[in-house]
Structures are given as C-alpha cells and as structure tokens.
Amino acid sequence: MPSAREVFDTLNTDYLTVHKTKEDLFWDTYMAVSNDDAGFARAEEAYKNFISDPARLATVRGALASLPASDPDEASAALRRGLKGWLALFEANIIDNDAARQLMSELIKLESDLFAKRRELVLQHINEAGQTEDATLSMLGTNLSTNPVEAARKSSHDALMSLERWVLEHGLLDIVSKRNAFARAQGFDNYFDYKVEKNEQMSADQLFSILDDFEARTREANLRALSDLAQSHGAHATQPWNLRFYISGDVTRQLDPYFSFAKGLERWVRSFRHLGIEYRGATMQLDLLERKGKYQNGFCHGPIPSFFDAQGNWVAGQINFTADAKPDQVGSGARAINTLFHEGGHAAHFANVTQNSPCFSQEFAPTSMAYAETQSMFCDSLLDDADWLKRYARNAKGEAIPDELIRARIESTQPFAAFAERGILVVPVFERALYRLSDEELTPERVLLLARECEQRILGVAVGPRPLLAIPHLLNQESAASYHGYLLANMAVYQTRAYFEREYGYLTDNPAIGPALAEHYWARGNGISHNDTLLSLTGEPFNAKYLADSCNQTVAQAWQEARAKMAAAAERDYPAPPAADLDATIRIVHGAELIADNRDSDQAMCQQFERWVGERYLATIQ
C-alpha cells in the first residue's frame, strides 16, 4: 500500500500530465490552430475522469487517515495541507455513480459538437465604412458602442439576435437537458444548483440572497438612468441597438486616440510593473487579435499550474490568454487594454500560487469563480481611474487625455453604473430560471421568452444590448451557471479598492499593491476561501455595500472624486518600479505566427508588437 507521501507525489505528477494535455489541445482548437475536436474531447474526458474519480478520492482519504494525529514538523504539516487540497478538488468534482459518469461523457460530446459548428458560423454586420463584413462578437459589441449610424448598429444587434436563435436550434437545449440530468443523477434538483454548490460552496438560495439584495439596492438608480436617457435623447435611445451608443458612443470615439491598440501592450507591462506585480518566471503566450474560427471571447488558462515540487523546486506557471481585437476598429484599443489587464490579472494570480501541489493553482473547482475573477477585475478596474487615465492614456503626440474628456466620460457612464452591473446580474437570474424548466418546456420559443422576461425585469428594457443567449459562457460547462461570479467578484473588487485607498490613498502605480495581493489573495490559491482572502487583506468579511455605493454615486460625486485623484497624482512623487521587468517569458502570437517576444527585453517586445500592428493594419501607430 503506498504511503501518504507516495500518494501525494503521484497525484501531483499524474495531474500535471492529464491537465497539460487537455489545456494544450484546448488552446489549439479554441485558437483555430487545430481542428482536432475529437482529440480535445478525448483529452477533456480524460481530465474529467481524473478529477471525478471516486477511487482517487478514497485513496486521498486513506492517505490522510494514515497520518499521525499531530504533525511533528513542517514537512508533515505541508503534506497534510497538500492532501487536503486534493481532497477538496476531488470532493468538488466527484461523480460517484456510473449513470452520472455516462451523462458527463455524453455532455462533453454534445458540447464539442456545438463548439465545432459554432466555429464555422459567420456573423455579419455593417461597419463604419457602410460595408457588410464578417464580424466577431467583439466587433459586434464595439460597433454597437461606436458606430454613429443607427442602421449599422442595428445590423450588429440583429446578428446577435440571430446567434440566439442559432444556438437554440443547434444543440444548446439538448445540452441544458443533459446538464440537468447529470445534476439529478448526483442528487441535485438542477444544474444551476449543482454548479453553485460545487463552485462557490453555497446554495443557490444563499447566492440569491446576495444577488437580490444588490438588485434592490440598485433598482432605482437603473430606472432613473433609463428615464433620463429617454428624456434627453428620445425613447429610441433605449432601443437595444442604441443603448450602448447613447451611453458612451460619442465619448468612446473621442477617447479612441488616447487608447492606441498598438500601445496597449506597453501600457499593460509598464502599469503592472509599477504596481509591483511579478509572474515568478512564468511562460506566457498571448493571442490578441481576431481571426476566423478563433474563439470569440477572452480567457486565461494555465497548462502548467505553479507550485513547489517534491524536491522544493519552483515549477513556474505556463499560462495562455487571449483577446479578440480588430485594431483598425474604433474602440478596439480600449477593449484590448481592458483584456490585457483582466486576463493579465488572472495570469498574475495563477503564477503566484506558492503551494506544494498544482491542485491549488488552477481555474476549475474548487477554485471559486468569484475568487478568481476578483483578481482580474481588480486589475481592470484601474483603467477607469482618473489618475490612471491621466498617467497612461496619451495620443500619438504624447499628449495626456484632457480633464474635460475624463469628465465627459464620467457624465456618460456614471448614470449607467447600475445598468452595467445589472447586465451581469441578469445572466444568473436567467440561468437559474432556465435550468428550472422541465424538458418539455425547453423549446426555442419558451427559452427566448424567458430571456426577454429576465431582461425586462433586471435591465428595464425589452431586449438587452447583448442578448442573453448570445453570451458564449452559456455554451461551455466550465463557465455555464457561473456568471454570477463576476458580480460577486466586483463586490470584492470595490471592497479591496476601498482598503487600498484607506491604507495608501491611491492605487495607480502603487508598488505595494502587487506584493499585498500576492501575500493575501494569491499565495494560498484555492486553499483559502474567497471570504478569508478578504478578511486577510481588508479585515472585513465579504461586503456588497462598496459596489452598490459606487453604482449609486451621482455624476457630481464621481467627478469630485476624479478631480481629487488627479490633483493628488500631480503632486505625488511616484517611486521607481520595484523590478526591472515582469519576471516572465512572454510570446505574442497570432495563431501559429510569432509576432513578438521578450527574449531581449519587455521594451523590445512592445516595439516589435507596435511595428507588426502598424504593418498589418496599415494604420498610424499611436
């Protein structure tokens, strides 16, 4: 019978193999480098079988039971912690009966088939030049926000509405039914209840006690903003293809010269370096531009999770992340840098987990989605700060963004802060109701009606600017019934921001932030609960108040706060960055093509990237 140490070391080694195999194929198929969908489905099934194996769970329980009652030294304590990490992983993913395992196998096949068909689907809209073009989800969203021609904006929304009908007619409803059967085979009423319990360690009722409270706190602000918009611009402004444009379209266009796509990489590197964020020797691969067949949503996955191995050697992370930008489209630069900060925040988190097993540093259960998204959304929240904008947002002449434009941005977006957060809230409201439908009710007409009912109740409009069934998260079992994690995360983000502002007075280029996040939020990975990370850093348990208060700010209050930040930043003597680089090997790719890397330096990589974008898109590099 193997010893507890042998059990632990074997799990670490075997997991790395099956996880990396799955993640490498995931990257190649989702980036359209390979069309080996069958190979990816097999690797995905092998991974699922590993993490849901009752025999491995029993082995871990036996190994823990074999340990002495108390730990004589740190090595013994570390072994116990590591085995408890594996226990948590297997308990979060266990499929303890043959019927459920068969249903999971069928689910993987259904999802793989839908993904392969979706990859071949081409959506089209009318662009700024008045031309009909093929469009990714990112391009559709940007066109909705920035195109001054209403008919062109409507063409983007029509494409999203057609995607809703397409997914309903090409397998999503079979997947929903199969997911529910899988959950029932494990004793849950439906798949939504199953995912919340497994991923967030709370019941759906507990989750909705938080979500319902937030909905009540922000309802009045949302309705007031829509009413004011209609009064200012007419009722047509609240049409789904007009909302984004009237909220921020003109300001987005004015901001565009200050958010060069080609400069985004440099600004991400420089900003993270000044925050004291490091990647502990990780290897990172970034694929940032739209491409036919490529998955149309940003993500961050790590084929090699970071950890200390049995000999105490550091195993640095291998991390991939992606965006879907079109550099010559207005607004693409702002979307791209948001993705760099968001996915770069995920990467920083997973590169800095310093435990003794890879089970602590991966993005699947028992890693809470809310916990994982807190790291990325905290980083991208900095992009809204007036002092960050003043310091980094510059045009081709090197001129800083004017105060008047920052104020205009606040005037257009602050009234709709509640609407933006409720745009996240509407997804779990819909998904919970979706998975409560019986199989007989799972028809395209019934599900579309349910989507519209949820949008009307939560958003206050007949159809959302991003129709619910066009959201890609709903199609993949890893992200399905998990979208609430973004809202829970943003609550934690604003709690974290409030702490740093109390403690230091500022966030932008504050070199204390990276080390603090590494110590309190990242080091223990999923070995610590989301609530306990907040307690560790802020001294407070999870609290939704900070986000709700931010949503309910008036324009005058938000502008006063922004002016104070800019004034303080102008007087501040910023310290030099604590490190010369991000301590990472970085490759910027476009499918199989290498665009740039940092083998010489981060600066050289950024310059290579700028040149490539300029040559590829024949645009002025700003």
CATH of the domain at 272: 1.10.1370.10
Residue 111 φ then ψ, to 5° = -70, -40
- 613 falls within a domain: yes
Question: Which of 116, 131, 160 corresponds to the end of one domain?
Answer: 116
The DSSP code for 387 is: H
Write down the pLDDT at residue 543.
86
Residue 131 φ then ψ, to 5° = -100, 145
Give the residue among 60, 75, 200 at the shortest CA–CA distance from 531.
200
Within this chain, do residues 358 and 215 fall inside the same structural domain, yes or no?
yes
CA distances from 9 to 23, 80, 503 (A): 21, 12, 41
Write down the pLDDT at residue 330.
85
CA distances from 614 to 65, 292, 324, 511, 617 (A): 61, 20, 17, 32, 6
Within this chain, do residues 111 and 129 fall inside the same structural domain, yes or no?
no
Within this chain, do residues 187 and 252 fall inside the same structural domain, yes or no?
yes
* Pairing, β 584-590 against β 318-325: unpaired
Within this chain, do residues 96 and 150 fall inside the same structural domain, yes or no?
no
Omega before 148 cis (within 30°)? no
Write down the pLDDT at residue 296.
83
Range of the domain at 366: 117-617
Identify the H or E element spanning 69: none
Write down the pLDDT at residue 249.
65
Sign for the pseudo-dihedral over CA of 289, 577, 308, 48:
negative
Query: What's the total number of domains in the chain?
Result: 2
Residues of the chain with pLDDT under 70: 249, 618-622
Write down the pLDDT at residue 622.
44
- 542 falls within a domain: yes
Within this chain, do residues 149 and 273 fall inside the same structural domain, yes or no?
yes
Write down the pLDDT at residue 156.
98
In whole angstroms, what is the distance from residue 560 CA to residue 2 CA? 65
Within this chain, do residues 53 and 22 fall inside the same structural domain, yes or no?
yes
Give the distance from CA 202 to its chain's centroid. 21
Within this chain, do residues 376 and 253 fall inside the same structural domain, yes or no?
yes
Cross-strand pairs, 308: 314
- 124 falls within a domain: yes
Question: Which of 97, 116, 135 corresponds to the end of one domain?
Answer: 116
Within this chain, do residues 352 and 238 fall inside the same structural domain, yes or no?
yes
Write down the pLDDT at residue 347.
98
Write down the pLDDT at residue 620.
44
The DSSP code for 282 is: E
Within this chain, do residues 445 and 455 fall inside the same structural domain, yes or no?
yes
- 9 falls within a domain: yes
Write down the pLDDT at residue 186.
94
- 622 falls within a domain: no
Write down the pLDDT at residue 618.
60
Within this chain, do residues 99 and 142 fall inside the same structural domain, yes or no?
no
Within this chain, do residues 76 and 188 fall inside the same structural domain, yes or no?
no
Write down the pLDDT at residue 621.
41
Within this chain, do residues 412 and 366 fall inside the same structural domain, yes or no?
yes
Write down the pLDDT at residue 325.
83
The DSSP code for 80 is: H
Identify the H or E element spanning 540: none
In whole angstroms, what is the distance from residue 80 CA to residue 594 CA? 43
- 223 falls within a domain: yes
